[in-house]
Amino acid sequence: MKYSLPEHIIGHIFKELPPYAGLLCLQTDSLGTLLFWQGSWKHYFNIPPNKGADLAKIIPFLAGMFPLKTNTLQLQNLQLKENLWVDIHLMKDSDTSHWIFVTDRSEEIIKMQGLLQKVNEHQLQVNKPNLDEPCANPFGHLHLFQVATFEKLNNGTYKSIGEVPDWLITLRPEVAQKGENVHLGDNFPFLEIFESEIKTSDSIVTNHFFNSGIWIEADSLGNEYFLRAFATSFDDTEYLLIRMLNDDLLGEQDTMQKAREQQLAFENLAKAQKQLKELLGYKDMFVSIVTHDLRSPIASVLGATEMLTNDQHLMDQLDDFTKELMLGMREEMTRMLDYNDKLYHWSNLELGNFELVKENIEVDKLVKMIVQTFNSKLKKKDIHFSSTHPQNLKIKVDITLFLQALNNLVGNAIKFTPKEGKIQMLVEQDKRHTRITISDTGVGMDEEKAAHLFENTINKSTHGTQGEKGSALGLGIIKKIIEAHKFSIQARSKPGLGTQITIEM
Amino acid sequence: MIKKKVSMLGSFAVGKTSLVQQYVRSIFSEKYHTTIGVKIDQKIVIVDHQEVNLMLWDIHGEDDYQKVKPAYVMGSSAYFIVIDGTRRNTIETALELQEMAAKVSEGAPFIVLINKADLKEEWEVTETDIQSLKEKGMTVITTSAKDGFQVEEAFLKLSQQMMK
């Protein structure tokens, strides 16, 4: 498309007016062959203009542009040569004619470039190691890893090499500034020890490497720095590297802290356990002593009430109320003595104040002793007691303690069996075990309760079928005795269907 | 100015760091903060009219996780062996460390500190234990880093022994 400006105006623009600084107008055919030019050709190109020349060869940026696919196209900030930047505007005049306008943008771009260069350099300068220059530290840019590197000099002092990490500048500015002849031991007393360690260690000779323990330095503000030193040799020169570990150490310190806190917690727990054990011991000893001392006075009072109540002549002279009182007193004193005895036995068992003395005893003899003990109670409730056991069977037990356990079991059976009930003691033996089972036709208990009957040493006391009172200690005593013999005991029961207790030996 | 190295030795959590902090800065923290490695604090004192720069080496506690390296004690002019009065098991570690330190420091003077005197009701260390240490020829001082009880006195006494 031709411009609609009159020809003389165009002529005036091109001929009369000073050419636009740097404006170059070019006309080509559709293939980019130069047809016409107007403006400062020499300003842009070193070769003279030549009608018929391929413009793409003169301006390489235009390669592949012809014929133009669009009516206009603008290319900006193209560097034609050193210190020369241009904008190129392309316009499709017709299918056979293209116009190209070239303008000089150098002044603006050079100004912008200067500014951009300064901004970028400033940005880069903060963290940019001078990688263009040869590194002064033979181990590389270790300061980036918070490592200060020192070369050992012949006089025993040190020289700082390479870049200095920030922590050293903050912590020991005099060391960072001094550079040479640094007495590291004066600034880091810990290193005096490390250096003497190096002398006595083979590690640096064999491995060319030796590291110190961790030490802590503080700056003037009280900030702590965790440091570790490494001594090494390279190319016949000794070096000392000091690394700040603060970031790395947080996890390790946390772990160590938790481990030691846990250790202290365990120690406190052990202490508390020991105190508790002592207290329990004192408690059992107290109970043992008190029950022992109470036995005599209780037995005395019981003896007196028994004497009085056995005197039929005296009893006949009493009114019913007083008689009931006397009989009740005897019953309570009997129970109290029994309770006291049980408490005494229990406390001694808890203290471990016994030593099993095992002997062989015939089961038959044991049964007779039990029957003799409970004869009156059995008769009183009209309970039938029977025993089934192999003839001449013997068991090896501590007779006193084991009999006490059996008596407690039979006593409970009598307590919880109603009148005219049955109690059976069955002793069986196979190749591995001997079992004693005491069964009753008593009131029974929940299956769940029976399963856990011997788990606690102290249980709640319950009254018998005729209101018989007991203590809560009997089952605990049985459990202790059975455990001491290394036997086992279990109970099975159902409400209303009686109870079975089995001791397995 | 004379510089003297004084090492703090003992089991973990006996109060070595607390004793140093109390002596150098008159501060105390209830929170237990385990020491990793070695920390060196300094305090200038006057001992027998002489100015002495005490380099206090607060060495991490001895336990299964960190063992005290004999090298740390090297060059010590004196040392403290610290025991926690509420933990009797720290006596055994203390005696082991004293034995090591005696060899390394070539006869440098030392004092046994039984720390946490402010928790006397919780003490496991008994008078018999203390007597036993004294019978071994050790100087024993009970201290409390918490309230400063006998801390100044302990450091002064050791400094005087060191300067003899």
CATH of the domain at B57: 3.40.50.300
Residue B52's pLDDT is: 92
Residues of chain A found within 8 Å of residue B63, distances taken between Cβ atoms? 260, 263
Task: Report the alpha-carbon angle A299-A304-A308, nearest 5.
Answer: 145
Do A257 and B34 make contact, defined as CB atoms within 8 angstroms? yes
Residue-wise burial string across A150-187, b where 16 or more C-beta atoms lie within 10 A, e elsewhere: bbbeeeebbebbbbbbebbeebbeebbebeeebebbeb
Residue A440's pLDDT is: 92
More confident residue, A202 or A183: A183
Mean pLDDT of A365-392: 88
- Closest residue in A to B11 (Cα–Cα): A260
Mean pLDDT of A256-278: 87
Q: What predicted TM-score, i.e. pTM, was given to this entire model?
A: 0.55
Do B66 and A256 make contact, defined as CB atoms within 8 angstroms? yes
Amino acid in the structure at residue B12: F
When mean pLDDT is compared over A132-141, A201-210, B100-109, the highest value belongs to: B100-109
Residues of chain B found within 8 Å of residue A271, distances taken between Cβ atoms? 124
Top residue of B3, B31, B36 to mutate, by most chain A CBs within 10 Å, is B36
Q: How far apart are CA A400 and CA A397, in angstroms?
A: 9
Residue A4's pLDDT is: 56
The answer to which of A204-208, A255-259, B119-123 has the lowest mean pLDDT is A204-208
Q: Using CB atoms, which residue from B13, B33, B74 is nearest to A196?
A: B74
pLDDT band at A1 (very low <50, low <70, confident <90, very high): very low
**Å between A190 CA and nearest CA of chain B:** 8
pLDDT at B62 over 60: yes
Q: How far apart are CA B113 and CA B142, in angstroms?
A: 6
pLDDT at A387 over 50: yes
Mean pLDDT of A375-391: 89
Do B124 and A271 make contact, defined as CB atoms within 8 angstroms? yes
Residues of chain B found within 8 Å of residue A252, distances taken between Cβ atoms? 36
- Closest residue in A to B90 (Cα–Cα): A267
The answer to which of A156-160, A193-197, A471-475 has the lowest mean pLDDT is A471-475
Q: How far apart are CA A433 and CA A425, in angstroms?
A: 16
Q: Using CB atoms, which residue from A213, A252, A256 is nearest to B38?
A: A213
Residue A18's pLDDT is: 45
Residue A60's pLDDT is: 82
Tokens of A207: 């491995």
pLDDT band at A223 (very low <50, low <70, confident <90, very high): confident
Count contacts between A and B (CB, < 8 Å).
63
Residue A14's pLDDT is: 60
pLDDT band at A2 (very low <50, low <70, confident <90, very high): very low
Q: Using CB atoms, which residue from B5, B39, B65 is nearest to A216?
A: B39
**Å between A244 CA and nearest CA of chain B:** 13
Mean pLDDT of A174-189: 86
pLDDT band at B43 (very low <50, low <70, confident <90, very high): very high
Percent of chain B with pLDDT over 90: 71
- Closest residue in A to B39 (Cα–Cα): A216
Mean pLDDT of A405-417: 90
**Å between A258 CA and nearest CA of chain B:** 9
Do A260 and B33 make contact, defined as CB atoms within 8 angstroms? no
pLDDT at A123 over 90: no
Strands of B140-142's sheet in order across: A158-161, A147-152, A237-244, A224-234, A209-218, B38-47, B50-59, B2-10, B78-84, B110-115, B140-142
Mean pLDDT of B82-105: 94
Residues of chain B found within 8 Å of residue A190, distances taken between Cβ atoms? 38, 40
Residues in chain B: 164
The answer to which of A10-19, A60-69, A249-258, A472-481 has the lowest mean pLDDT is A10-19
Do A215 and B40 make contact, defined as CB atoms within 8 angstroms? yes
Q: How many CB atoms lie within 10 A of CB A343?
A: 20
Mean pLDDT of A196-220: 74
Beta bridge partners of A94: A97
Residues of chain A found within 8 Å of residue B88, distances taken between Cβ atoms? none
Mean pLDDT of A438-450: 88
In this predicted model, what pLDDT tens digit does every residue of B130-164 receive, in sequence order? 999 999 999 999 999 999 999 999 999 999 999 88
Do B37 and A196 make contact, defined as CB atoms within 8 angstroms? no
Mean pLDDT of A77-90: 85
Percent of chain A with pLDDT over 70: 85
In this predicted model, what pLDDT tens digit does every residue of A301-352 receive, in sequence order? 999 999 999 999 998 999 988 988 888 888 888 888 888 887 887 788 777 7
Q: Using CB atoms, which residue from B13, B40, B124 is nearest to A264?
A: B13
**Å between B14 CA and nearest CA of chain A:** 11
Do A214 and B38 make contact, defined as CB atoms within 8 angstroms? yes
Task: Report the alpha-carbon angle A266-A271-A275, nearest 5.
Answer: 145
Residue A426's pLDDT is: 93
In this predicted model, what pLDDT tens digit does every residue of A6-22 receive, in sequence order? 666 566 556 554 445 56
Residue A28's pLDDT is: 93
Total structural domains within chain B: 1
Residues of chain A found within 8 Å of residue B55, distances taken between Cβ atoms? 189
Residue A285's pLDDT is: 82
Asked if residues B90 and B39 have their Cβ atoms less than 8 Å apart, the reply is no
Mean pLDDT of A367-380: 87
Do B37 and A214 make contact, defined as CB atoms within 8 angstroms? yes
Do A215 and B124 make contact, defined as CB atoms within 8 angstroms? no
Strand, coil or helix: A430: coil
- Closest residue in A to B33 (Cα–Cα): A257
More confident residue, A43 or A139: A43
Q: How far apart are CA A400 and CA A395, in angstroms?
A: 13
Average pLDDT of chain A is 83
Residue-wise burial string across A12-32, b where 16 or more C-beta atoms lie within 10 A, e elsewhere: eeeeeeeeeebbbbbbbbeeb
Domain holding B11, by residue range, is: 2-163
pLDDT at A469 over 70: no
